[in-house]
Structure 1
Amino acid sequence: MASSATLTSTHLPTLRTILEEWNQKRPATKGFPVPLAELQKSPPSKDASKDVIVAFRTRPPLPNEAAEKFHADPDAEDAVLDDAGKLAPVEFCAGITVASAEPGVFFAHVPGMKWSGPTLTHKPYEADLAFGPDVDNEEVYQRTVVANDMLSLALSGGVGCILAYGQTGSGKTYTMESVEHRVARDLFAQARIVGKRLLFAQDGDHAIAETGDIFEFNVTFLELLGKHASDLLESTEEVDASGNPVRTEVLVREDKVGNIRPNLISSTVSSSEELEELINKALSHRRTSSTLRNAASSRSHALLTITIKNTLLPYADEGQLILVDLAGSERYEDSKDHDKQRMEEARDNNKGLMNLKECVRAKAKMATEDGFVHIPWRSNKLTMLLKPIFDIESRQPSKAMIIAHVSPHIQDTIHSTNTLSYAAPFKTVPPKPRGPSPYDAQDPRTWNHDKTVEWLTAQFTKRAMKSRQAEWNVKAKSAQLAGRKLKPLADLAPGQLDLGVDISKLCPPGLTAKNLGMLYTTQFVQRCLEARTGEALTQDEVKSTAADVFASLFYLILTAKTKKRNEIMKSRKKLDTEGTYGDAPRDIKDYDEEEFLEAQIYYGNDWGKIIIAAQKLCKNEGKNWTEVYPKTVDDMMVKFRAHKAAADREAAEKVEVEE
């Protein structure tokens, strides 16, 4: 039986003795194979190609933390007393032991109680990395973000996501804030290195190449409290009863083409100092409350998203860095004193964390399976915001880093095992490579630039021809009323028809239908107005035509998505019902369902009575029901058919007499 924190504190001397005996027998702790000083010079590890990487971390105990948070039972016979006869202060005892740093292995020491006294179970958990209490934030950053090329991934158009998970008070926010500030410190320097390399490769202006400033950085910071999202960059002076700022709720929903784009303040930053300032401003707005484990616990999920656009390749996929400090998970003991609102928030947070678990597990499963794997990212707002790493249709390379935090105290080991059990299954093998989507003439998401230009030209040409024909019809009608006849419309040579829009300006080199599909209707209309040519179409006609063309593009995208989804669903393995459940007891080879239903209506309540009577007889005589049931039904069907035939003859004779 698991032991409570109070019971553990009471039996701490016994548990400490058991733990010391175990430590003496276990092998020495394995450290990191590559020292931190040589990390950047060493080749990438085998984990660098993984989609999901798992790390464990435990912090050092704070001074007097055990004595302040945990208390023994004063009425227990074996309670430790000081010289004055009072309960002795509770001293720290480790609940987590690092057995190996890489690959990571944590042992959780779980206290229990048997009839013979206190017990201690040592449960191992495996991860890709494990950071003990002596590892500082810089080393955590170097071995997670830097060693796995998360910055280069985002600068190359990929999606990198770092999530901190664990019990409230286990050090998540401490880790994530340090990671955020170090990303701000290194991102722009890394961007200049990548920019210089791209500029020199393209034989660009060497003066510009020396700066390497080819990237644009936009930052959003969202807070998700239960089911309610808000913008941490929004300034407000209104506060609630707890002193927390009151902000406008931001809607988190999927638009008609499947994008998740909350209406957040997007701030453009161009230096480490600007990004640092923005992070500090947003973190100062984050909602916190006191709990039994932490006086300033983060009560919400905080998502810092850095979007990176390459100005050399303006229509390439934008890279993203998503840094997520998850709300602390809580046990009942930690939240039982909360008010109703806080209890609901804790419940919603835990639901989001459990759905995140399912999504990450499914993503990890994709690495080892060829078939369809469903990722339920639509089930919760938290996972909807993380769609870039969960969308199975996305061709952007992505990588997720989960850092699971556990408390160092043996009194928290029960919760630590929950955290480690949550994160350990995410550890996976490297994924199979996924190439670009195959070309499909009916799927705009697979079109290249030339195909996009061809389609746009055809769409605007069709509408221009229709407009030209409608204009001629009006003139022809007027001429007919005046007693004249117009000449038929002459065929135009290629290039003679004024489309009203310069397609080369609307769709410059590099732009594809996939890029256009990411726009809003108003943005596409604005692009068409900017590419307007001549006076063939008025501004209102250009707006109308542009909206019509964009609607056609959306229809093709949605149709292609629906078709793809149906193909995926059909590719799922069907359940072998006969192999699972055996043959059905009713054989309807001689009659269809409609006739079977008619017979049941005819018999009414007698149908069930006959079946029950046959079942009792079968049981008393020890016969096989799968053989008796079809015979019972067949007998009733024979009687029903005879009744039906007689009724049909009687109806036919009645008709003959009337005639």
Structure 2
Amino acid sequence: MATSATLTTTHLSTFRTILDEWNQNRLKTSPIKGFHVPLEELQQSPPSKDALKDVIVAFRTRPPLPNEAADKFHVDPDAKDAPVDEDGQPPVVEFCSGITVTSAEPGVFFAHVPGMKWSGPTLTHKPYEADLAFGPGIENEEVYQRTVVANDMLSLALSGGVGCILAYGQTGSGKTFTMESVEHRIARDLFDQARIVGKRLLLAQGGDPVAAENGDIFEFNVTFLELLGKHASDLLESTTEVDAQGNPVRTEIAVREDKVGSVRPNLISSTVRTSAELEELINKALSHRRTSATLRNATSSRSHALLTISIKNRLLPYADEGQLILVDLAGSERYEDSKDHDKQRMEESRDNNKSLMNLKECVRAKAKMAAEDGFVHIPWRSNKLTMLLKPIFDIESRQPSRAMIIAHVSPHIQDSIHSTNTLSYAAPFKTIPPKPRGPAPYDAKDPRTWDHAKTIEWLTAQFTKHAMKSRQAEWNVKSKAAQLAGKKLKPLEDPVPGQLDLGVDILKICPEGSTAKDLGTLYTPQFVQRCLEARISEALRTDALKNNAVEIIGNLFYLILTAKTRKRNEIMKSRKKLVTEDVYGEAPRIDAEYDQEEFLDAQIFFGTNWQETIMAGYKKAKEEGRVEEWHNGGYGKTVELMLEEYRAHKAAEAEKAEKVGKAEAAVANNE
């Protein structure tokens, strides 16, 4: 049986002894494992993109604060064996670790859960696995480098993808501290990374790299939303009105899908051009966020805060906008942490916990989708929080996405029970590597099955179509000019096969060994850049080539998406339908027709005896080998007998009521 925080504190010396013994035995057999790559080497050469996963899980525990254990946890003086000091007073409570990091990568946390048995206090050591584990000695800069930088989140967003980072954990576990540090470091590095990516794109099309240094390639827009229970508001909205608790009162923002399926709340969108502007905006929004005191944290965040940085590529105005979504989730609470809340706060806590559970289902489904080839339903419409995160959960979206979950736990042994809840919540998100499968059978409508030759054939046809369209447009202009001059041009003849100038080297776009599946993993700007680098004809203008490239990669994405949808529908149709008779057997037949209301009233009248009588009749029929006879008539007769008994009872009750009524009427007449 798990113990409360107070009881744990009472037996702290015993738990500390057990924990020290466990640590000594563990270190003899398995030393602590660190990260695979030192931080210095990681900064010089981050992991390859092939090693990245769609969902990454990290655990983090903070160091204890000075005097935190003594201030938050107290000995139960009424306990039978409560410790006392020399003056007979409860001793000062000292810190005892409830979390041990045994491996940093892959991450392994051991949660030490106090318990009580007849023999006395016990400790249960529960292991939990993640991709990364950050102990109390890890600084925020290293957390940022190993999560955001190592997983290429900034380049993903700058290339038209969606990167999402979520901080989850018990109130007071340090998640807001982590998320704010991540936000400020992203503000520090984002514009430098944008200049690098922009310069590379400009050089590919022969432009002036000075424009990239001036930050003219990308446009950055920022929104900051607060979700308090079921109510969303804009943290960038200025207001002077406050409620009874002193919190600012803001206009509620609707969170819903629009006609084209996008979830875009009507928020203030601020354009930022420098790191300093983004820093200032983040500080302003964070100062507006709601906080309240709890038993675990005097300034607990009572809401989910979503910072969204939208990135538009001005060179490719029709390409998808990249996004960075940074989510500081509200602190999860147990009943004993929130039992003193008022009604409104209790409702907010319930709504927060519901949204966290729905988020869990969505992230687990996304991780499962990354590991499996079949259809996986992601219930992102079930809650406003997950609706706001649609870009990373919508399986129909063609934008590449990556999600990072950082689960935070308290370092104190008194919080171990809640720590196990947090780790149990986050550990299943860890993506299982996909099982090795053989090559998919060829399907002319599915680009994922095409070989190099088929891909070259498709790309040639696409660029040929655009070249023919351009050739026809030029002839139309010349023909109109000739008509104005009183002349007539010869009809445009079909080009000699192989002689049409496509303007690009197809083999540079899709080199030997590459296939349509590989091209489908490129971001739109990357494909455009590859086409610009493959240009071999000056007659093909840069703007025209860029537009052609965007349309061609869009067609490829559409074919892949259509193939996925078709395959998913085939899987759904091929699933065996549940036949009730196969599971429960054939339903007993009732020859007579009964009034449904009377049938239900009879069941209520008999209560459990109704089903017991039927089961007794079936059991007897089975013992006598008359199961078929029972289904064909015995069941109906049993029901008919009980209905007759119910009718007799009802008639008797009516007759009794009639007699009582007559007697009362006679008394009234005599009076």
State whether TM-score is above 0.5: yes
CA distance in 2, matches of 1:12, 1:207: 64
> 1:431-473: per-residue Cα shift (whole Å, max 9, x none)?
699999969xxxxxxxx99999x9xxxxxxxxxxxxxxxxxxx
> 1:325-358: per-residue Cα shift (whole Å, max 9, x none)?
0000000110000000000000000000000000
Call closer, same or farther: CA 1:151–1:281 in 2, change over 3 Å: same
CA distance in 2, matches of 1:47, 1:418: 32
Please give the secondary structure, in 1, of the residue aligned with 2:629. helix
* Shift of residue 618, structure 1, vs aligned partner: 6.5
* Shift of residue 630, structure 1, vs aligned partner: 4.6
Give the corresponding residue for 1:103: 106
* Shift of residue 42, structure 1, vs aligned partner: 3.6
Q: Indicate which of 579, 590, 601 corresponds to 2:593.
A: 601
Query: AA paired with 2:593?
Result: I
Please give the secondary structure, in 2, of the residue aligned with 1:321. strand
Confirm whether residue 355 of structure 1 aligns to residue 358 of structure 2: yes
For the 8 Å contact 1:194–1:212, the answer to whether it is kept is: no
Give the corresponding residue for 1:305: 308
Give the corresponding residue for 1:40: 43
Give the corresponding residue for 2:81: 78
Give the corresponding residue for 1:29: 32
CA distance in 2, matches of 1:294, 1:437: 57
Confirm whether residue 394 of structure 1 aligns to residue 386 of structure 2: no
Confirm whether residue 257 of structure 1 aligns to residue 260 of structure 2: yes
* Shift of residue 573, structure 1, vs aligned partner: 2.1
Query: AA paired with 1:71?
Result: H
Call closer, same or farther: CA 1:30–1:48 in 2, change over 3 Å: same
CA distance in 2, matches of 1:119, 1:42: 46
Please give the secondary structure, in 1, of the residue aligned with 2:88. coil
Q: Indicate which of 405, 418, 425 corresponds to 1:422.
A: 425
CA distance in 2, matches of 1:158, 1:221: 19
Give the corresponding residue for 2:241: 238
CA distance in 1, matches of 2:175, 2:374: 35
Call closer, same or farther: CA 1:26–1:323 in 2, change over 3 Å: same
Give the corresponding residue for 1:175: 178
TM superposition score normalised by structure 2? 0.72
Give the corresponding residue for 1:640: none
For the 8 Å contact 1:104–1:126, the answer to whether it is kept is: yes
CA distance in 1, matches of 2:325, 2:303: 16
Give the corresponding residue for 2:15: 15
Query: AA paired with 1:75?
Result: D
Confirm whether residue 573 of structure 1 aligns to residue 565 of structure 2: no
Give the corresponding residue for 2:276: 273
CA distance in 1, matches of 2:444, 2:341: 50
Please give the secondary structure, in 2, of the residue aligned with 1:93. coil
Mean CA deviation greater in 150-159 or 22-31: 22-31
Give the corresponding residue for 2:295: 292
CA distance in 2, matches of 1:248, 1:93: 45
Call closer, same or farther: CA 1:118–1:634 in 2, change over 3 Å: closer
CA distance in 2, matches of 1:357, 1:302: 17
Give the corresponding residue for 2:2: 2
Confirm whether residue 323 of structure 1 aligns to residue 315 of structure 2: no
Confirm whether residue 248 of structure 1 aligns to residue 269 of structure 2: no
Call closer, same or farther: CA 1:514–1:249 in 2, change over 3 Å: farther
> 1:525-583: per-residue Cα shift (whole Å, max 9, x none)?
xxxxxxxxxxxxxxxxxxxxxxxxxxxxxxxxxxx99x979937843623454796154
CA distance in 2, matches of 1:287, 1:341: 14
Call closer, same or farther: CA 1:307–1:618 in 2, change over 3 Å: closer
For the 8 Å contact 1:199–1:212, the answer to whether it is kept is: no
Call closer, same or farther: CA 1:580–1:98 in 2, change over 3 Å: farther
Call closer, same or farther: CA 1:430–1:189 in 2, change over 3 Å: farther
Confirm whether residue 337 of structure 1 aligns to residue 329 of structure 2: no
**Once the two structures are aligned, what percentage of the paired residues are identical?**
73
Give the corresponding residue for 1:384: 387
Please give the secondary structure, in 2, of the residue aligned with 1:37. helix
Give the corresponding residue for 1:411: 414
CA distance in 2, matches of 1:118, 1:83: 24
Query: AA paired with 2:94?
Result: E
CA distance in 2, matches of 1:30, 1:287: 39
Mean CA deviation greater in 195-204 or 162-171: 195-204
CA distance in 1, matches of 2:361, 2:42: 33
Give the corresponding residue for 2:285: 282
For the 8 Å contact 1:222–1:232, the answer to whether it is kept is: yes
CA distance in 1, matches of 2:181, 2:445: 38
CA distance in 1, matches of 2:14, 2:48: 42
For the 8 Å contact 1:60–1:133, the answer to whether it is kept is: yes
Query: AA paired with 1:107?
Result: F
Call closer, same or farther: CA 1:233–1:583 in 2, change over 3 Å: same
Please give the secondary structure, in 2, of the residue aligned with 1:208. helix
CA distance in 1, matches of 2:54, 2:317: 26
TM superposition score normalised by structure 1? 0.73
For the 8 Å contact 2:128–2:423, the answer to whether it is kept is: yes
Give the corresponding residue for 2:633: 632
Call closer, same or farther: CA 1:578–1:336 in 2, change over 3 Å: closer
Please give the secondary structure, in 1, of the residue aligned with 2:323. strand
CA distance in 1, matches of 2:622, 2:397: 63
Call closer, same or farther: CA 1:627–1:108 in 2, change over 3 Å: same
Call closer, same or farther: CA 1:355–1:603 in 2, change over 3 Å: closer
For the 8 Å contact 1:364–1:427, the answer to whether it is kept is: yes
For the 8 Å contact 2:618–2:627, the answer to whether it is kept is: no
Give the corresponding residue for 2:120: 117
Call closer, same or farther: CA 1:254–1:603 in 2, change over 3 Å: closer
CA distance in 1, matches of 2:83, 2:167: 37
CA distance in 2, matches of 1:621, 1:278: 76
Q: Which runs of 5+ in 1 are unaligned?
A: 440-447, 455-503, 516-559, 587-595, 637-659
* Shift of residue 621, structure 1, vs aligned partner: 7.1
Call closer, same or farther: CA 1:619–1:221 in 2, change over 3 Å: same
Query: AA paired with 1:11?
Result: H
For the 8 Å contact 1:304–1:322, the answer to whether it is kept is: yes
> 1:82-106: per-residue Cα shift (whole Å, max 9, x none)?
2222111110000000000011000
Give the corresponding residue for 1:93: 96
Query: AA paired with 1:12?
Result: L
Call closer, same or farther: CA 1:212–1:618 in 2, change over 3 Å: closer
Q: Which runs of 5+ in 2 are unaligned?
A: 448-461, 469-542, 555-561, 604-610, 638-671
CA RMSD of aligned residues (A): 3.9
For the 8 Å contact 1:618–1:624, the answer to whether it is kept is: no
- Residue correspondence of structure 1 range 461-610 to structure 2 within 5 A: 567=569, 570-571=572-573, 573-577=575-579, 581=583, 583-585=585-587, 600-601=592-593
CA distance in 1, matches of 2:444, 2:381: 25
Call closer, same or farther: CA 1:431–1:197 in 2, change over 3 Å: farther
* Shift of residue 76, structure 1, vs aligned partner: 2.2
Call closer, same or farther: CA 1:117–1:197 in 2, change over 3 Å: same
CA distance in 2, matches of 1:617, 1:97: 58
Please give the secondary structure, in 1, of the residue aligned with 2:43. coil
Confirm whether residue 622 of structure 1 aligns to residue 626 of structure 2: no
> 1:356-391: per-residue Cα shift (whole Å, max 9, x none)?
000000001112222211100000000000000000
Q: Indicate which of 63, 67, 83 corresponds to 2:66.
A: 63
For the 8 Å contact 1:193–1:212, the answer to whether it is kept is: no
* Shift of residue 632, structure 1, vs aligned partner: 2.9
Query: AA paired with 2:319?
Result: A
Please give the secondary structure, in 2, of the residue aligned with 1:367. helix
* Shift of residue 119, structure 1, vs aligned partner: 0.2
* Shift of residue 49, structure 1, vs aligned partner: 1.9
Give the corresponding residue for 2:193: 190
